[in-house]
Amino acid sequence: MSPKIAVELGVREYDSFCTPCSPATLLDSGDRIAILAGESRLVVPAAHYYESVPTKRRGETSFTVPQMYVVKLDGMIVCDKGVIVTADGHDVITDSFRTYNYGNGALIDRGERRYIAQVKTSPKEFLPGTWLYMDGAKAHHYGHYLVETFSRLWALPNLPPDLGVLVSRRQWRPFMQTYLLAAGFPPERIRIADLPIKCEHLVIARQSATLRSYASPISKHLWQSIGAALEAQFAATVDRRRLYVSRRGAPVRTMENEVEVEEFMKRRDFTIFQPELHPVAEQIAVYRGADLIVTAVGSNTFNAWFSERQPRKLLMSAGFFPPIDGLMGTVVGGDISYVCGQSVEPETHPITARWHMDLGVLSGALDEWLSQ
């Protein structure tokens, strides 16, 4: 990013300028905040691991779930990469960060709560009316969208019914419209904007989940209601009860012998399913019908959160065990176990490294898992 557009900003916390209110008075005059759930703890139980060599396990873990709020802010400037700047152009607000502990690659930490924003902050236009913020630093990525952007819709029952939705044109992907339509937003209420843009009124609901930090039980109704709405649009045409979800062709964390693993899973009476080859509504219908899901760790597991009767999941990985699986499994339900493969790039971080799933290890793990 060119230094010519780098801007140094502070951080403005909501409690320093927002008036506490109820959801019913959220749209009254001025900057306002409605807190709908207080801080709490979420205990994620230890998962079961099947392995041929010892691996770093995640035991029972307690996470802090922060307050869940909705704010209405006047004159905010919505910028690229999830950065939101106050009307005076001096500060960013809390929801500029991907997690509640201040992480965003577009904001360089200078210390003492000062940040360099590496995005343009001078608005191109003024947007009248009241808009629901549905953008984020990595909203174009399917998994990041579900966790960091879609998860804001937990607040819908507490919001006015006629809000529009604001999305960045750079981040926009067609799958988003499927989810927004299911949530009750017709195309005419979806504004795909060139950023930066200054909003007359901007409504922001806190993320109800982040990849590593927390997941709030307040969101359970969201996943189930949207899942039911999407399933109603599509009659799934595959045998869904025993599902192997393939990541074949994934550009990172590639399982080098996935074709071999798929053939093995077929022999074990699992249906092979590649989500990205199917419309979103069909994906959700297929996952909602599954009793058992076997797949590699990644966003391909996230569609299961939409199921009312959570399937059991056996997740394959070579050292990458993201907290979000256990966090959301605790919120929506569903048993999770891991079977461990081996990296073929030991010097590379497991979040991106290529790896191999030994069929002997998988076979033994599958036998024991199915017997439970």
Answer yes or no: do 15 and 95 share one domain. yes
Answer yes or no: do 86 and 200 share one domain. yes
Residues 6+ apart with CB under 8 A from 249: none
Q: Are 134 and 204 in contact (CB under 8 A)?
A: no
Is there a domain that residue 83 lies in? yes
Answer yes or no: do 236 and 209 share one domain. no
The whole-angstrom separation of Cα 66 and Cα 87 is 26
For the residues 33-43, what does the mean pLDDT come to? 97
Q: What is the pLDDT of residues 225-270, one digit of tens each?
A: 999 999 998 765 555 799 999 999 888 999 999 999 999 999 999 9
Instruction: Count up the domains in the chain and report the number.
Output: 2
When comparing pLDDT for 56 and 182, which is higher? 182
Q: What is the pTM of this model?
A: 0.93
φ/ψ of residue 105, rounded to 5: -65, -20
Is there a domain that residue 338 lies in? yes
pLDDT of amino acid 59: 79
Is there a domain that residue 267 lies in? yes
Query: In which domain, by residue range, is 207 found?
Result: 3-40+67-214
Answer yes or no: do 195 and 279 share one domain. no
Could you say which of 162, 179, 214 is where a domain stops?
214
The whole-angstrom separation of Cα 53 and Cα 195 is 49
Looking at residue 350, which CATH number applies to its domain?
3.40.50
Q: What is the pLDDT of residues 71-110, one digit of tens each?
A: 999 999 999 999 999 999 999 999 998 764 556 888 888 9
Answer yes or no: do 117 and 163 share one domain. yes
Over the chain, what is the mean pLDDT? 92
Could you say which of 181, 214, 247 is where a domain stops?
214
Answer yes or no: do 208 and 237 share one domain. no
Tokens describing residue 251: 């550009």
Answer yes or no: do 132 and 271 share one domain. no
Is there a domain that residue 224 lies in? no
Tokens describing residue 92: 């960013």
- CA 211 and chain centroid, separation: 7
Answer yes or no: do 270 and 329 share one domain. yes
Answer yes or no: do 158 and 186 share one domain. yes
User: Between helices 280-288 and 174-182, what is the axis angle to 10°?
Assistant: 60
Q: Does residue 332 surpass a pLDDT of 50? A: yes
Q: Does residue 127 surpass a pLDDT of 60? A: yes
Answer yes or no: do 82 and 133 share one domain. yes
To the nearest 5 percent, what fractions of the chain are helix, strand and coil?
Answer: 30, 30, 40
Is there a domain that residue 347 lies in? yes
pLDDT of amino acid 57: 61
Answer yes or no: do 35 and 158 share one domain. yes
Give the lowest-confidence range in 67-71, 129-133, 135-139, 310-314: 135-139
Beta pairing partners, 199:
127
Buried b (16+ CB within 10 A) or exposed e, 317-328: bbbbbbbbbbbb
Q: Residue 55 — very low, low, confident or very high, per pLDDT cuts 50/70/90?
A: low
Q: Does residue 1 surpass a pLDDT of 50? A: no
Is there a domain that residue 60 lies in? no
Is there a domain that residue 125 lies in? yes
Answer yes or no: do 350 and 269 share one domain. yes
The whole-angstrom separation of Cα 150 and Cα 165 is 12
Buried b (16+ CB within 10 A) or exposed e, 206-224: bbbbbbebbbbbbbbebbb
Could you say which of 214, 242, 272 is where a domain stops?
214
Residues 6+ apart with CB under 8 A from 299: 141, 142, 143, 144, 146
Tokens describing residue 186: 């017709």
Closest CA to 101 of 38, 167, 165, 11: 11
